[in-house]
């Protein structure tokens, strides 16, 4: 069910609650945070696999999807973190399991570092500790000249395995990404490309699943080795050969990894199917 709330700085944020879990076993929920240029709906194929086990909340990050674009188009990590905490406060969620895809995973990691009591676990997809060690800044002039759709269409092979991807998905992905405000996206990507919090991830105390696209095309794969070496309670998974957008290309596989991880680490919170 889609709903909205207004943040403490007055911005309207859209979110979805999908609740198909048995009514007597509903908490803690999963919160899903999408990537730069994404929105909640991009998780559509992962959600049905998760919702019998957990209540699932998806938020459109500010400036994305149906959430408003900040009037000054500014982006700070502190504000993005505050948005998540305020949504949790509104829904009276003390702590949640987080699934973060790419930039959504940066926010999830930073939340686990700054508000450890609110994060029970992290499932991170294609999400290193920031985009500083990447080519993301080279996107900006291309987005400015080619437009979001043109840039993404020209570089789509960096994101999706085209030989095994439904052409309908490619078109939908491009159409949806093109709905974003290019100036805000430029500010968002610039900010993410300034981040490197590798020296902070040793403070991530919760169980953490890191799923690495084996053919990562955004950023340096060494970033994932840092996660492997520094996050105390980490489970590493590698999807061989796949480029960056694994949550789009193989959503069912991503959801299954989360379920397997949560079932093994939080058996008491994992609702059984009733068959």
268 binds another protein (CB under 8 A): no
169 binds another protein (CB under 8 A): yes
In sequence order, the 6+-apart residues with CB closer than 8 A to the CB of 165 are: 249
Which span sits near another protein by CB under 8 A: 18-26, 27-35, 144-152, 227-235? Answer: 18-26
270 binds another protein (CB under 8 A): no
Among 3, 9, 22, 89, binds another protein (CB under 8 A): 22
Judged by CB, which is closer to another protein: 52, or 79?
Answer: 52
Judged by CB, which is closer to another protein: 35, or 127?
Answer: 35
In terms of DSSP H, where are the helices of the chain?
47-50, 77-90, 103-114, 136-154, 167-177, 182-193, 222-230, 246-249, 251-265
3-state secondary structure of 233: coil
What's the token pair of residue 231?
A: 């996050």
Q: How far is the CB of 98 from another protein (least distance, A)?
A: 20
What's the token pair of residue 84?
A: 């998540």
239 close to 246: Cβ distance less than 8 angstroms: yes
3-state secondary structure of 6: strand
Judged by CB, which is closer to another protein: 240, or 274?
Answer: 274
Among 41, 140, 178, 195, binds another protein (CB under 8 A): 41
Which span sits near another protein by CB under 8 A: 30-38, 42-50, 101-109, 121-129? Answer: 42-50
Contact residues: another protein, CB under 8 A: 18-20, 22-25, 41, 44-45, 47-49, 51-52, 166, 168-169, 171-172, 273-275
């Amino acid at each position: 069910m889609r709903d909205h709330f207004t943040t403490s700085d007055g911005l309207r944020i859209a979110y979805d609650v999908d609740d198909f879990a048995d009514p007597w076993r509903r908490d803690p929920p999963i919160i899903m945070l999408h990537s730069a240029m994404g929105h909640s709906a991009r998780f559509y194929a992962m959600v049905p696999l998760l919702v019998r086990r957990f209540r699932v909340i998806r938020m459109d990050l500010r400036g994305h999807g149906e959430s408003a674009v900040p009037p000054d188009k500014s982006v700070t990590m502190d504000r993005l973190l505050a948005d998540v905490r305020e949504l949790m406060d509104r829904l009276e969620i003390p702590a949640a399991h987080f699934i973060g895809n790419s930039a959504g995973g940066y926010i999830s990691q930073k939340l686990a570092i700054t508000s450890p009591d609110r994060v029970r676990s992290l499932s991170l997809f294609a999400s290193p500790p920031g985009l500083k060690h990447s080519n993301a800044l080279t996107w900006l002039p291309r987005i400015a000249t080619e437009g979001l759709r043109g840039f993404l269409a020209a570089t789509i092979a960096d994101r999706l395995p085209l030989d095994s991807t439904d052409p309908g998905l490619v078109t939908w992905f491009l159409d949806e990404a093109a709905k974003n405000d290019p100036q805000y996206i430029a500010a968002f990507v610039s900010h993410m490309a300034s981040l490197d919090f590798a020296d902070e991830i040793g403070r991530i105390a919760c169980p953490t699943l890191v799923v690495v696209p084996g053919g990562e095309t955004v950023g340096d794969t060494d970033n994932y080795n840092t996660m492997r070496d520094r996050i105390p309670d980490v489970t590493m998974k590698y999807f061989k050969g796949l480029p960056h957008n694994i949550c789009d290309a193989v959503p069912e596989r991503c959801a299954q990894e989360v379920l397997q991880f949560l079932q093994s680490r939080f058996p008491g919170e994992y609702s059984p199917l009733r068959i």
